[in-house]
A and B are shown apart, each in its own frame.
Chain A
Amino acid sequence: GIQVEQSPPDLILQEGANSTLRCNFSDSVNNLQWFHQNPWGQLINLFYIPSGTKQNGRLSATTVATERYSLLYISSSQTTDSGVYFCAVEQAGGSYIPTFGRGTSLIVHP
C-alpha cells in the first residue's frame, strides 16, 4: 500500500512564528487532506487538496502531485494552533480508504 511520511514529527514554536509541515507519499493519489487534531482529540478538516494551492486565513497548503508531496504553511502561529497535524491520502486506483501519516505534533508557546 501507499506510504505516507510526515515531517518534522515534533515542532515547538514561539507565538508569531511561521512554520512549514511536509507530507510525502509514495504513489499517485486521488485525494489528499490535512487535518488538525486539537488537544481534546477532535479532528478538524483543514484542506481537501489533491493538487494545487489553497489558503484559509493564516493557513495555506500546496500539493505537487507529480512530485508526491504536500506542504502545510502556518503563518503567525497562535497557541490555539497547538495539536497534531495529520496528512491523509487516498491512493489512485486503490482502496477508497485514506491512509494517514503519523502526524506532526506542534506546540506553540505564548
Chain B
Amino acid sequence: SAVISQKPSRDICQRGTSLTIQCQVDSQVTMMFWYRQQPGQSLTLIATANQGSEATYESGFVIDKFPISRPNLTFSTLTVSNMSPEDSSIYLCSVDREGYTFGSGTRLTVV
C-alpha cells in the first residue's frame, strides 16, 4: 500500500484566514481524494483530484472555498479559504492503491 505524508498535522487559525494542507505520496497515483471529518462524525468526501484536470467536487463543496491543486502524480494540496469556526475539522487525503490509504490527517481549529 501507499505511504502518504500529510502536513501540517494540526493548526489553530484565525477566522477569515486560509490554510493550505499538503499531501505527498510515495508513488504515482491517478486520483487523490480529500475528506473532511467534523467532530464526532464520519468522513465526508470533499473532492477527487486528478492530475492535469480540475478537481471534481461533491455536493455541498465548492472550489472557491476548497481550492485544490494537483501539479503531479504524487502531490496535492487542499486550501480551506476564508475560514470560520464551522470549518474546524480533521482533513484527510487518501489514495486508492490495493485499498484506501489515508494521510495522518490535519486537525484544524478555527478561532
Contacts and interface: CB of A to CB of B under 8 A. Distances in A.
Contact of B92 (A31, A33, A43, A102): A43
B107 A41 contact: yes
Interface size class of B (residues with CB under 8 A): 10 to 19
Interface in A59-108: 86, 88, 96-98, 100-103
A45 B94 CA distance: 11
B96 interface: yes
Given A97-B45, A100-B42, A33 B100 contact: yes
Q: Chain B contact residues: over half helix, strand or loop, or mixed?
A: strand
B2 to A, nearest CB: 10
A41 B101 contact: no
B101 A45 contact: yes
Interface in B34-90: 37, 41-43, 45, 48, 90
Contact of B105 (A42, A96, A101): A42
Interface of B: 1, 33, 37, 41-43, 45, 48, 90, 92, 96, 98-102, 104-105, 107
